[in-house]
A and B are shown apart, each in its own frame.
Chain A
Amino acid sequence: MTDFGSMLFVFVLATFIGLGVIRRVSRLLYTPLMSLTNAISAIAVVGSIVVTGADHPLEIRILGAVALFASMTNIVSGFMITDRMLKMFKKQ
């Protein structure tokens, strides 16, 4: 049985941590920040892996595989472009 209360608890705490941490992010880095958080939220990939890989009907697994592809694209392009942009920031 899912526990709505504890999930909500985690959500609220994580939002506070998020607001606290993001507020301190350098203003110079808002563009890489967006690609980084985008890659991180592609953690949805774990949901897609279960839907794709478990013994489900074919149609379900097709939906899962497309979702897995979409999340994986975000992970790969998100982390790579973030690193590419961050490399360019030099102090002098």
Chain B
Amino acid sequence: MHVIGELAAILATALFIFALYWMNDPKTARRGVIAGVTGMTVAVLATWIQPEILHHGWIVGAIVLGFAVGIPLSRVPLTAVPQRTALSHAFGGLAAGLVGTAEYFLWLGEGSAQLTPFRMSALVVEVILGYLTFTGSLMAAGKLQEVKWIPQRPVTYPGQNLVNMGVLALAAGIGVALVLHPDAAWGGKAFIAIGGLALAFGVLLIIPIGGADMPTVISILNAYAGLAAVAMGFVLNSKLLVTAGALDGSSGLILSIIMCRAMNRSFSNVLFGAFGKAQPAIAGGEQKAWKQETVEGAAQLLEQARTVVIIPGYGMAVAQAQHKVRELYDALTKRGVTVKFAIHPVAGRMPGHMNVLLAEANIPYSALVEMDEINPEMPQTDVALVLGANDVVNPAARYAKSTPIYGMPIIDADKAKTVLAVKRSKNPGFAGIDNELYGLDNTWMLFGDAKAVVGDLVKQFGSGGIH
């Protein structure tokens, strides 16, 4: 039996590594899913046939429930994928926290000799990481879903970081005491206190964070969920769990670093900096008047262009405009215009969000271009169409030190010969910063809902408008 378990674990580990390896190209990526499912099935079956498993009904029941909830969760609209991802990090954290709690009380019941310093330390780490990921991710999911009783804007108060660090330090302190005195009479209560403090810390950690920081926060929570699984592997002495958790954790880490770089901010600045607070407008310069363009005029500009770069942002997702964008893409390419999409790493609410939305609308991925590759082409671009993006095209990021976006790499929309910016209203973006792009001489504004505006543009190319 033991041999089957070991072999299954090695096979599953190899399959998981291949699953991630195949994600290096969209052509092979679906193979990765098959490898992942196979590895998972092998690991589950090899565990299930172990002789100590007696209560099969319970396992079947929990698995059936998992399918009942999991299938609908996999069918959410793609605009809701960030919430679903946050929710799944929450589930991952919860599972780690619960298994850790169960193992602790199991070993406590068998006598404190079971609670070696190694096991006890791993348990404390597992439970802290698991429960903080659980509540932190739930809060993030709530903010993304725009649940009414969770404030969207960052909630801050004086001494916030001190309180947060205090809560975490207290949990860690109790943990150290437990490692040193695993047989103490207060052990059980102390363990529950650690769990409670970790749950509270997760909430406190996320309330000061605003929507624009969500891509980074989701990535960090991803890393935490992976590390919680690693800690569980240490507790259960399972190399398979340690490996799978480490793969998840390193993925979260790499994505976090990429997201932070794309905003020119550090981890600690995202977690403790409370981005998104209303900032004073850019000092000095009077606000330039925005020039408005008609749909007819905009259509003419697009039609006469040789190259058009569309810069999508979260606004496109909110308006569900991606299918209309596809129609515009078709209309323009049919007329011989080269159309590309410029994707900023933090556009949207999670890493890769824009790519998925545009792929859903059947836009070929060869037309999706990353920021670093498109920027050298921007000066030769005839029209840059800004669609629901804001901070990621704000030229103020290059020099305005007083703004929170200072130093953030941007898509050089302003360098295009003409800029068309679609904007729902005259309010500033999520970060509350004026966008200088809108006041430039070569910029023309199209006010309205992104879906409606793009729909009207498409109509111009259809019947009657432009031939």
Q: Which residues of A contact B (CB under 8 A)?
A: 2-4, 6-7, 10-11, 14-15, 17-19, 21-57, 59-61, 63-92
In the complex, the answer to whether B356 meets A45 with C-beta atoms within 8 Å is: no
Task: Given A42-B92, A68-B62, A86-B26, verify A37-B356 contact (CB < 8 Å).
Answer: no
> Which 10 A-B residue pairings sit nearest by Cβ, starting from the closest?
A72-B66, A76-B70, A30-B352, A18-B250, A41-B248, A80-B74, A14-B246, A53-B53, A30-B351, A31-B352
B66 touches A73 (CB 8 A): yes
Q: How far is the CB of B148 from chain A (nearest CB, A)?
A: 25
On whether the beta carbons of A46 and B240 are closer than 8 Å, the reply is yes
Q: List 20 A-B contacts (CB under 8 A).
A: A15-B246, A21-B20, A21-B21, A22-B254, A23-B254, A31-B356, A38-B222, A38-B225, A40-B244, A43-B12, A44-B241, A44-B245, A57-B106, A60-B106, A63-B99, A69-B69, A79-B37, A81-B74, A84-B74, A88-B362
Residues of chain B within 8 A of A86, CB atoms compared: 26, 29-30, 33
Contacting residue for A81 out of B16, B59, B67, B84, CB 8 A? B84
Measured CB to CB, the closest approach of chain A to B330, in angstroms, equals: 13
Q: Which residue of B lies closest to A49 (CB)?
A: B47
B247 touches A41 (CB 8 A): yes
Q: Contact check: which of A24, A40, A63 meets B101 at CB < 8 Å?
A: A63
Given contacts A46-B240, A47-B238, A70-B98, A75 and B70 within 8 Å (CB-CB): yes
Known A-B contacts A38-B89, A77-B71; A68 and B66 likewise in contact (beta carbons under 8 Å): yes
Contacts of B39 in A (CB 8 A): 40
Contacts of A83 in B (CB 8 A): 30, 33
Chain A residues near B105 (CB-CB < 8 A)? 59-60
Docked-complex contact B52 and A72, CB < 8 angstroms: no
A74 in contact with B92 (CB, 8 Å): yes
Q: Would A14 and B359 count as touching, CB distance under 8 A?
A: no
Contact of B237 among A2, A43, A75, A78 (CB under 8 A): A2
Do residues B21 and A63 form an inter-chain contact, with CB atoms below 8 A?
no
Please measure, in the bound complex, the distance between the C-alpha atom of A22 and the C-alpha atom of B29, giving whole angstroms.
13
Q: Is residue B383 contacting chain A, with contact meaning CB distance below 8 A?
A: no
Identity of the chain A residue whose Cβ is nearest the Cβ of B63 in the assembled complex: A72
Report A45 CB to chain B, min CB distance, Å: 6
The answer on a CB contact under 8 Å between B251 and A26 is no
Give the one of A65, A72, A87 with max B CB within 10 A: A72
- Say if the beta carbon of B36 comes within 8 Å of chain A: yes
A25 to B33, CA, bound (A): 14
Interface size on B, residues (CB 8 A): 113
A13 to chain B minimum Cβ distance, whole angstroms, is 8
Bound: A15/B252 CA distance, A: 11
Does B286 interact with chain A (Cβ within 8 Å)?
Answer: no
Contact assessment for B232 and A47 in the assembled complex, using a CB-CB cutoff below 8 Å: yes
Q: In the assembly, what is the distance between CA of A68 and CA of B55, in Å?
A: 13
Chain A residues with CB under 8 A of B360: 85, 88
A49 to B56, CA, bound (A): 9
Residues of B within 8 Å of A69, CB to CB, are 62, 65-66, 69
**B175 CB-CB contact with A under 8 Å:** no
Pairwise interchain contact A31-B233, C-beta atoms closer than 8 A: no
- Output the least CB separation between B223 and chain A (Å): 10
On whether the beta carbons of B229 and A43 are closer than 8 Å, the reply is yes
Identify which of B20, B52, B360 gathers the most chain A CB atoms within 10 Å of its CB.
B20
Q: Are B91 and A47 in contact (CB under 8 A)?
A: no
**A29 touching B23, Cβ below 8 Å:** yes
Separation in Å of the A44 CB from the closest CB of chain B?
5
B306 within 8 A of A: no
B57 to chain A, nearest CB (A): 9
Partner of B40, one of A3, A6, A39: A39
B451 within 8 Å of A (CB atoms): no
CA distance A48 to B23 in the complex (A): 28
How far, in angstroms, from A70 to B54 measured CA to CA in the complex? Answer: 21
- B239-275 CB mask vs A (1 if < 8 Å, else 0) is 1111111111111111100000000000000000000
Find out whether the CB atom of B350 lies under 8 angstroms from the CB atom of A37: no
Q: Which of B19, B33, B244, B359 has the most CB of A within 10 A?
A: B33
Contact in complex: B118, A4 (CB < 8 Å): yes
**B372: nearest chain-A partner, CB-CB:** A27
Given contacts A33-B23, A36-B20, A72-B66, contact A48 B99 (CB under 8 A): yes
How distant is the Cα of A83 from the Cα of B22 in the complex, in angstroms?
13
Closest to B67 in A: A76
Cβ–Cβ < 8 Å partners of B350 in chain A: 30-31, 34
Also in contact, A90 and B364, with CB within 8 A (given A30-B352, A52-B55): yes
Q: Which of B44, B70, B236, B370 contacts A77 (CB 8 A)?
A: B70
Q: Which residues of A contact B36 (CB under 8 A)?
A: 36, 39-40, 79, 82
B400: Cβ under 8 A from any A Cβ: no
Other A-B pairs beyond A36-B23, A38-B88, A49-B59, 8, CB < 8 Å:
A26-B25, A27-B370, A31-B85, A33-B23, A33-B351, A35-B88, A51-B99, A89-B26
